[in-house]
Amino acid sequence: MSFLSHLISGISLGSIYAIIALGYTMVYGIAKMLNFAHGDVIMVGAYACFFMVSRYEIPAVVGVLSAVVICTLLGIIIERLAYKPLRSATSLAVLITAIGISYFLQNAAQLLWTSNPKVFNSLMGDGSVKLFDGRLSISVTAIVTIVVCVIIMLALTWFTGRTKMGKAMRACSEDKGAAQLMGINVNFTISMTFAIGSALAAIAGVLLCSAYPILTPTTGSMPGIKAFTAAVFGGIGSIPGALLGGVLLGIIEIFGKAYISTQLSDAIVFVVLIVVLLVKPTGLLGKQVQEKV
Amino acid sequence: MNNPREETKYVPQPATNLIPERELGKQLILEAHNLGIDFGGLTAVEGFDLSVSPTEIIGLIGPNGAGKTTVFNLLSKVYQPTRGTILMNGRDTMGMSTAQMNRAGVARTFQNIRLFNNLTVEDNIKLGLHNHIKYGMLSGILRLPNYWKQEKEAKERVTELLSIFSMTHMAPFRAGALPYGAQRRLEIIRALATGPKVLLLDEPAAGMNPSETSELMENIVKVRDTFQIAVVLIEHDMNLVMGICEGICVLNFGKIIAKGTPSEIQNNPVVIEAYLGRQKEDGQNAES
């Protein structure tokens, strides 16, 4: 029974990683950049929700929605101010800028909200579902997390596959020049990608802090790095890859914690990543990219 | 003046039609006046003038490296011109982006095919229809009635466009998996989907055998007649150029060296020199 319970909490943690990894993978797919500030957008989303719900006692649904709106705007602003001027710059310059934005957000949060940890009350309450005569108990938070992740995946697959904006995104990720000649506004498409990624980050922030209720200005950085790992693990640029990578990473981490060593669980995660990349350098679902010269 | 672009304000000039004897109407669809571009210190195109009337087929020829594709890149705003003006439907296009130029009515294909290889044939054409499908992101995600209506119309339009080149059965295939000739045709269809008034074709017959080329010639004329659009094409296949073009413009070293009807071009000594080399003093060909 403990195995099942670990598996479920692994999938639940992995779902959060998957939602964050989507932000990394979509932005990478289209703008070909690693947005290392993504993890800190999660933190901003969590704080926004925390203040709305715990301080101003706004209904939880409205709190989450306003966190989504705030993060979406933040994502668009970051892209416009920091990344857009560097569109034709080297990828290293953009990478360093992203790291700079990450530190900026962390320090701004420290300045605004102090570094004292805040206790985030789970929006889903602390109830749980008991199965097998109470031998297996699954928290409501875990169930909601998994369901939300599945809904987001289905919606996003539909969006990229079937709508004109989604197709424009895929076109931009393949050939920006040709997309422009189809009359597609590439800058707007990139902005929209950041908006979607940041909206997902807000949801991930709320879910993360519902499961692990301590909120500090650096809350987002470690999950951000792990989700980036998940994106690479699954094959960066691939949406199903982000899901697979995220869930596998979550399960490995929880099993590592439960059966091997609590201290070593992060190391185990990265060892698995290294092994996978040695065998399959493009990640589990990544495509072989051949650069044309 | 500090900004070279400021000098390029449009001053109405008498249009120089390629075929003066034909009644082409007053309104020109695309005009280029004194167009030029420098890459660093290198002048790639200089003093390029072109007038395109609606439904005219114009050929752009010249030896390798003459700047033909650069002219296409200027006309489609992939490059912003250093000098000169491009008028679309009589309106100045200064400062327009590539996407805006496309919306204004210029569509093109590429010398080396640039389809979205991982997308299906249908999706490639739907991307061409991007600006003609009108629904917001929200109705796309929530699948509101408007989404279904617009997508259905788009699908019908895709089938209609594919039927011109009898490719309807290829709609669900991945564009990258199509045979070469079909990819070239798909690129033309995708450009047509954007609803252009001028279609720029960059070496449409490259890599085609004579029977495919003659089929392509028929198709280009058919496209012109069906859509009532102007076509400007770059081509090395002289049978195609002389066969369907009503006006020809010859470029060499970034400058126009001759303009005229196919028969005028064929007998123009400057053109012959550019292609075959200068004749020796004693009248013998330099090659022999």
Residues of A in contact with B108 (CB under 8 A): 181
Low-confidence ranges of chain A (pLDDT < 70): 288-293
Closest A-chain CA to B79: A177
Give Cα B204 to chain centroid, integer Å.
10
Both tokens of residue A281? Answer: 């350098």
Check CB contact under 8 Å for B115 and A178.
yes
CA dist., res. B117 & res. B97, Å (int) = 24
Q: What per-residue confidence (pLDDT) applies to A193? A: 92
In a domain, A45, yes or no: yes
User: Tell me: the pLDDT tens digits for A67-96?
Assistant: 999 999 999 999 999 999 998 888 899 999
* Contact of B230 with B55, CB cutoff 8 Å: yes
Indicate where chain B has its CATH 3.40.50.300 domain(s): 1-105+198-288
3-state SS class at A46: helix
Q: What per-residue confidence (pLDDT) applies to B16? A: 45
Name the residue facing B98 among A168, A171, A180 (closest C-beta): A180
In a domain, A247, yes or no: no
Closest A-chain CA to B115: A178
Amino acid at A48: A
* Contact of B161 with B192, CB cutoff 8 Å: yes
Check CB contact under 8 Å for A185 and B99.
yes
A291 φψ region: left (φ > 0), alpha (ψ -120 to 50), beta (else) = beta
* Contact of B234 with B202, CB cutoff 8 Å: yes
Work out the number of other CB atoms within 10 angstroms of the CB of residue B39.
11
In a domain, A89, yes or no: yes
Mutate to test the interface with A, among B130, B189, B198 (most CBs of A within 10 A): B130
Check CB contact under 8 Å for A168 and B99.
no
Total number of domains constituting chain A: 1
Look at residues A18, A10, A11 and name the one whose alpha carbon lies nearest to residue A152.
A18
Residue B44 neighbours by CB under 8 Å, 6+ apart:
B37, B38, B67, B70, B254
Residues of B in contact with A163 (CB under 8 A): 137, 140-141, 147
* Contact of B48 with B35, CB cutoff 8 Å: yes
R_g of chain A, CA atoms, integer Å? 19
CB pairs under 8 A between A and B: 81
3-state SS class at B39: strand
* Contact of A197 with A29, CB cutoff 8 Å: no
Question: Is any Cβ of chain B less than 8 angstroms from the Cβ of A177?
Answer: yes
Match 């570094």 to its residue by tokens: A115
pLDDT tens string for chain B (288 positions)?
444 444 444 434 444 444 444 444 557 889 898 898 998 888 899 889 998 888 889 999 988 888 899 999 999 999 999 888 898 888 888 888 899 999 999 999 988 889 998 889 999 999 988 888 887 777 777 778 888 888 888 888 898 889 888 888 888 999 988 988 889 999 999 999 998 999 999 999 888 888 889 989 998 998 888 888 999 999 988 889 999 998 899 998 888 988 888 888 888 888 888 877 776 655 454 444
Q: What per-residue confidence (pLDDT) applies to B282? A: 52
CA dist., res. A185 & res. B218, Å (int) = 34
A289 φψ region: left (φ > 0), alpha (ψ -120 to 50), beta (else) = beta
3-state SS class at A11: helix
Within chain B, where are the H helices?
68-75, 98-104, 121-128, 137-142, 145-164, 180-193, 210-227, 238-244, 262-266, 269-276
In a domain, A44, yes or no: yes
In a domain, A264, yes or no: no
CA dist., res. B224 & res. B202, Å (int) = 16
Look at residues A123, A122, A103, A121 and name the one whose alpha carbon lies nearest to residue A218.
A103
Residue A90 neighbours by CB under 8 Å, 6+ apart:
none
Domain that holds residue A95: 14-223
**CATH superfamily, with its number, for domain B1-105+198-288:** P-loop containing nucleotide triphosphate hydrolases (3.40.50.300)
CA dist., res. A279 & res. A67, Å (int) = 40
* Contact of B141 with B126, CB cutoff 8 Å: no
Q: What per-residue confidence (pLDDT) applies to B189? A: 92
3-state SS class at B23: coil
Q: What per-residue confidence (pLDDT) applies to B280? A: 61
Residue B214 neighbours by CB under 8 Å, 6+ apart:
none
The C-alpha of B198 sits at a distance from chain A's nearest C-alpha, in angstroms, of 13
Give Cα A198 to chain centroid, integer Å.
8
Look at residues B202, B186, B190, B195 and name the one whose alpha carbon lies nearest to residue B226.
B195
In a domain, A100, yes or no: yes
Question: Is any Cβ of chain B less than 8 angstroms from the Cβ of A134?
Answer: no
Question: Is any Cβ of chain B less than 8 angstroms from the Cβ of A186?
Answer: yes
3-class secondary structure per residue, B45-110: EEEEEEEECCCCEEEEECCCCCCHHHHHHHHCCCCCCCEEEEEECCEECCCCCHHHHHHHCEEECC
Name the residue facing A168 among B108, B127, B190 (closest C-beta): B127
* Contact of B246 with B24, CB cutoff 8 Å: no
Give the β-pairing of B83-88 and A118-119.
unpaired
Match 């290829």 to its residue by tokens: B170
Both tokens of residue A190? Answer: 């990139």
